[in-house]
Structure formats: C-alpha cells, structure tokens
Chain A
Amino acid sequence: MSVSHLVPFLAVLPLGMAFLFVGLAHVRGGQRVVPGLAVLTVAANLVLATALIGVEVGPIFVGGWGAGKTLGIQLNCDGLAKFMAVTINLVALVSIVFALAYMRRFTKVWLFHALFLLMTGAMNGLVLAGDLFNMFVFLEIAAIASYALVGFGCEAEELEAAFKYLILGTVGSAFVLVGIGILYAMTGHLNMGMVAATLAKVGTTGPAVLLAAAALLGGLALKAAMVPFHAWLPDAHPSAPAPISAMLSGVLIKASGVYALARVVFNVLGPNAPLATVLMALGALSMVIGVFLAVGQWDFKRLLAYHSVSQMGYVVLALGAAADVLAVGGNRTVAGLCLFGGLFHLFNHAAFKSLLFLSSGALEQQVGTRWLKEMGGLARRMPVTSFCCRVGALSIAGVPPFNGFFSKLIIIVGLAMAGHPVLAALAALVALMTLVSFVKVQRYALEGEPAGDGAATAREAPLLMGVAMAVLAVICIGGGLAMVPLGAHLLDPAREVLLDGAQALKEVLP
C-alpha cells in the first residue's frame, strides 16, 4: 500500500475526529484527551501532506466510480493541491499547538477543537476536490466552521463581527453556486476537467460563460476579501481567538478564496483577457487600499487584518498578470515567473501573517490590551514574543533576507517583465507603506516606556506559545534562503498546473 492510497484521509481524518470529539465530550474524562488527539490528527495530516511531495498521485475515484463513469467523486492530488495541503497543515499544526496554551481561559475547549478540525479537514478537501460541486460543499463546511469560530468568545463585538461575516459569506457562497449551476447547464458536467474540455469546444467568451465567470469571481473574491468585497474581514479576523485569526488570515482566505479563484480561472475557464483584467484590477485595488487603511489603525489585530487584504492583493495581482500573459499566448517563462512569485508569496504570507497574529495574541493575553498606544517597552519584558513579532514584521515589510523580500521582489520583477511597469512601481510603493506601518508597531508596542499598567507588569508568554511562534519565525528567516529547494519540490509542480491552463486537468479525466 503506497502513500497515495492515504490521500482521502487528509480530509476524512479531521472531519471524522471532529465528530468523535463531540461524542467524547459527553463521556466522563473524554474532554481531557481531546486537545492531545487534535494535535496528533493535525500532525498526522502534516506528515501525510509532506510525504506526498514528489510522489506521483493519479486521480483518485472515491467509492470505485472510476474509469469511464462521469458521476463519481474525484480527488485530484496534483502539484497545486499538494502545495496548498502542505501550507494548510503546517499553519494548522502551529496554530493548534499555540491554542493549547492560549485557549485555557475559554470554556468548552473541546468545541473549539472540533470546529478547528472541521475547518482544517474541509480546507484539505477543498484543495483536493476534482469537481466543482464538491469544491462548493467543502468551501461551505470550512466557512460554517469559521463563522462559529469567529463568534467563539460570544462577546458582543465578536457576535457582531461573526454575524456580518456569516451574512456576507453566505451571499458570496450563493453566487458561487449560481456560477456552478450555469456551468453545469452549459456543459452537463461538474468534473473540472470535463467542464474545461467541453468549454474549450463551445468557446469561453459567450455571454453565458461570462455570466458564470462573473458569479464565480464575485463570490470567490468575497471569500478572498478582495477590495471592494473586503468589508467583513477587518471585523471578523481580529474578533476570533488568536489561533483562529492565524488560521483565517493564514490559510482560510487563501484556500477558499485565492486557491479556488486560481483553480477556476486557470484550470476550468482557461485564462483569457477579461478574466485577467478583472483579477489584476481586484489585486491592485486590494493591495493599495488595504495598506492605506492599515496605516491608520491603532488596534494591533485590526491593523494586521487590513494588511491581509493588501498582501492577498499581491498574490491575486501576480495571478492576474500571469493569466494576462497566458491569454495572448505570450512568453511562458514570464507567466511562470509571475505565478512563482504569487505562490511563493502565498506560502510566505501564510508563515508571517500567522506568526504576527499569534504574537498579537500572546501580547494581548499578557498585556491585556490590543491597543498599540497602551503597550510599550515590551521588548524587555517579553523577549521571545517580541523577537518573533519583529521577525514577522520584517518579513511582511519585505526587508532582506527575510522571506517576504524574495517573493515581493519576484512579483515586482514579474510584473515589470509582463509589461506592467506602473503596477510594478505600485507594488514597490505598497511594500514601502507596509514597512512604515510596521515601524509604527515596533515603535509603540515594543520600544519606549510602558504606557499602561498591563504593559508595565507583562510577563513572557507560556512555553507552548513561544515554541509555536519560534517555529514560524524560523520559517520566515529560512524561507528566503530555502527558496531553491522549496521551489523545486513545492512551487514548481504547483506552478506547472496553473501554467497548463485549461489543459491541466485533461489528463486526469475519468
């Protein structure tokens, strides 16, 4: 039995464990084993996802509905899915280890772990899904778990944020489903490869395809929090408990937003000029407006949330530029460079934004406030947290030799080579603004004198939280230097899938 037989467990294991936890919670003594089991489950998933790197895994037909039949559930474990699975499970493992210490002040921790695994398992299923409707179902499972987790504290503000997120998220999902319905009506298929093959015959520029594309792009852009669909994110992400903020900003908006966008645009609809323009416009707007909104924030977690909008803008802009090059049959190397930058930035953002959210959670727990003006002098009182926070800030600001520098540089070079010098200059300017914003964080939170009682008496965060942050800090420092091996094993296979466009899923047809 080879490792490829275990692929469905990426999704099935966490989902099953989530339901098991609900049962365990009602057994005497069962609640005690839940956190340990949750960590083991996520760790097993990370091992499995890592073991899949470099292994050739063909399409998997669940329940034996295989060759020749068009109706079965198909899982595609291609380069892109493997790359996303590694990213998701890495951030999930670090977040859940952090949560062991962080969640002690909450009640019903078993419920937290059940929802956490539901979300992780659904995201794994989402990136593996080989047909559009399964993608939608996993999107919804992940979304429902995240709505509940945002409101987990049940405080007034948290419920308000969760309710807004829930309403907007549901409307977005409805549009995704409309788009899938139109594509099914046109092609008679739900399997992504078959939809792509049929669309290639009937043409991808008819009004019905454009309507489906508009519905899908609108719904998924809302999930990815692209400007102008970003209004929910700055409320929802800061309101969640810190490990969940790290998961939401670190991987959820990428898996259910950017990944799904990329899959639909490149592999199902095929890159064409109107879609590329829309992606570039969304990306550029998010990148610029996100950072301008972030600079003025004094709430640490809210500031980080706006930066998520901005950094996701980089990724979508790079994807759009690549689609633009591919649409006119341009140079594959240039498109590949843009995609490499975009995917590398996606991975790096998962590392440094999770790190920043985790360190903001540690600061909030030890200091008792999220307001930057009430912190101060924490570099002396909380050295480990402060060091990790600085590493994250330097990475997101794009200071060499941290990982954010390399991915931003590749995106900027890629944009310039793809014939968008203005957008490249804009990306560089936004990087500068990000730096300014994080200099402010360093200045008010970590340097200077304590501005409040909480900051004056703060102590270092518990060991497990420190370990979780240190792991991510090592990835941020080493990510840039490890670009070549990372690229060869993770990013290049993922990039090839997107570069092949509508052809990519043809070879995995049942």
Chain B
Amino acid sequence: MGITIYVLTFALLLIGIYAVVAKKNVVKIIVGVLVIDYAVNLFLVLVGYRTGGGAPILAEGQPVTEFARTAVDPLPQAMVLTSIVIGLGITALMVAMAIRLWENYRTFDMNEIRRLRG
C-alpha cells in the first residue's frame, strides 16, 4: 500500500495513453480510452481512501465524531459514480461511431481512415 498503489494507478494511466497514441486499430484505441477512464476513477477513489476505513454510512446511534474519524471520504465516491456515468455515455458514442466508421470504410485501421488532409 502507500505510494505503491498510486504508482500502479499512474502506470495504468500511462498504458491507456500508450494505447491511444501508438495503436492504429479503432477498437484498441477505444480500449485505451477506457483504460485511461478507469485509471482516473481509481485515482479518485484512492484520494478518498484511508487504510482500514469503514463504509461512509452513518449507523444508528453512532456518534458523528467517531464516524468522521473512521469512515472513508464519500465525496470522491460520488464523483466517481458521476464519472462512470459520463464514461458510459462516451463509450456508447465511441462504439456507435466505430460501427459507422466500419460501414463507411470497411476497415478499423486508422492508417486507412484518413481522407482528411493534415
């Protein structure tokens, strides 16, 4: 734990960026974007995490001060939920566009999908 998990999350982010930048297949690029999305979501969850922390649900009769001392931060979790929903929308749009690209070009190779000039 500690710094290691942040390093691993950063590595995940780098893997996603590598896939988006270096790969030429439309599907692999989409997977790369998803990996970036997951890395960012994971980072946000880590921001709110504390080792050994409990779920941020206030039990009946539990004093608020004790709750604040032991629970993990719920706000990043709410952010991640929103971020996941946005990611779902983006993914649906990406896949829909990939299907339309295939219908028009009959290929998933970005080297051949380049009718627009630089």
Verify if A18 is at the interface (C-beta below 8 Å from B). no
| Cα-based distance from A156 to B43 in the complex (angstroms) | 37
Task: Known A167-B29, A174-B40; judge A157-B100 contact (CB<8 A).
Answer: no
The interface residues of chain A lying within 8 Å CB-to-CB of B20 are: 167, 171
Pick the residue among B33, B79, B115 that contacts A160 (CB under 8 A). B115
Across the interface, name the chain A residue whose C-beta is closest to B41: A177
From A178-186, A273-281, A329-337, A425-433, give the one contacting chain B. Answer: A178-186
Verify if A88 is at the interface (C-beta below 8 Å from B). no
| Cα-based distance from A326 to B43 in the complex (angstroms) | 34
The interface residues of chain B lying within 8 Å CB-to-CB of A17 are: none
Assess whether A166 is in contact with B90, with CB atoms less than 8 Å apart: yes
Verify if A163 is at the interface (C-beta below 8 Å from B). yes
| Cα-based distance from A491 to B61 in the complex (angstroms) | 54
CB contacts under 8 Å to A, within B22-39, are 26, 29, 33, 36-37, 39
The interface residues of chain B lying within 8 Å CB-to-CB of A170 are: 33, 36-37, 90, 94
Task: Known A163-B26, A167-B20; judge A148-B93 contact (CB<8 A).
Answer: yes
Pick the residue among B82, B97, B100, B105 that contacts A137 (CB under 8 A). B82
The interface residues of chain A lying within 8 Å CB-to-CB of B113 are: 160, 163
Verify if B98 is at the interface (C-beta below 8 Å from A). yes
| Cα-based distance from A157 to B26 in the complex (angstroms) | 15
Verify if A344 is at the interface (C-beta below 8 Å from B). no
Assess whether A147 is in contact with B116, with CB atoms less than 8 Å apart: no
Verify if A86 is at the interface (C-beta below 8 Å from B). no
Assess whether B98 is in contact with A163, with CB atoms less than 8 Å apart: yes
Verify if A436 is at the interface (C-beta below 8 Å from B). no
Assess whether A171 is in contact with B47, with CB atoms less than 8 Å apart: no
Assess whether A161 is in contact with B47, with CB atoms less than 8 Å apart: no
Across the interface, name the chain B residue whose C-beta is closest to A297: B117
Of the four ranges (under 10, 10 to 19, 20 to 34, 35 or more), the interface on chain B belongs to 20 to 34
| Cα-based distance from A181 to B98 in the complex (angstroms) | 30
Interface secondary structure of B, over-half rule: helix
Task: Known A137-B86, A170-B33; judge A159-B40 contact (CB<8 A).
Answer: no
Verify if B55 is at the interface (C-beta below 8 Å from A). no
Question: B78-92 CB contact bits vs A (8 Å, 1 = yes)?
Answer: 010011001001100
Verify if A416 is at the interface (C-beta below 8 Å from B). no
CB contacts under 8 Å to B, within A163-214, are 163, 166-167, 170-171, 174, 177-178, 181, 184-185, 190
Verify if A235 is at the interface (C-beta below 8 Å from B). yes
Verify if A71 is at the interface (C-beta below 8 Å from B). yes
Pick the residue among A133, A160, A178 that contacts B114 (CB under 8 A). A160
Across the interface, name the chain B residue whose C-beta is closest to A182: B47
The interface residues of chain A lying within 8 Å CB-to-CB of B75 are: 71, 184, 190
Across the interface, name the chain B residue whose C-beta is closest to A132: B79
Assess whether A160 is in contact with B116, with CB atoms less than 8 Å apart: yes
The distance from the CB of A498 to the nearest CB of chain B, in whole angstroms, is: 27
Assess whether B40 is in contact with A181, with CB atoms less than 8 Å apart: yes
Verify if A154 is at the interface (C-beta below 8 Å from B). yes
The interface residues of chain B lying within 8 Å CB-to-CB of A161 are: 116
Assess whether A159 is in contact with B33, with CB atoms less than 8 Å apart: no
The distance from the CB of A25 to the nearest CB of chain B, in whole angstroms, is: 18
Assess whether B47 is in contact with A185, with CB atoms less than 8 Å apart: yes
Verify if A14 is at the interface (C-beta below 8 Å from B). no
Verify if A324 is at the interface (C-beta below 8 Å from B). no
The interface residues of chain B lying within 8 Å CB-to-CB of A184 are: 47, 75-76
Residues of B within 8 A of A (CB): 13, 17, 20, 26, 29, 33, 36-37, 39-40, 43-44, 47, 75-76, 79, 82-83, 86, 89-90, 93-94, 97-98, 100-101, 104-105, 113-116
New contact pairs (11) apart from A137-B86, A156-B105, CB-CB < 8 Å: A154-B100, A156-B104, A157-B115, A159-B97, A163-B94, A163-B98, A166-B97, A170-B37, A171-B36, A177-B83, A239-B116
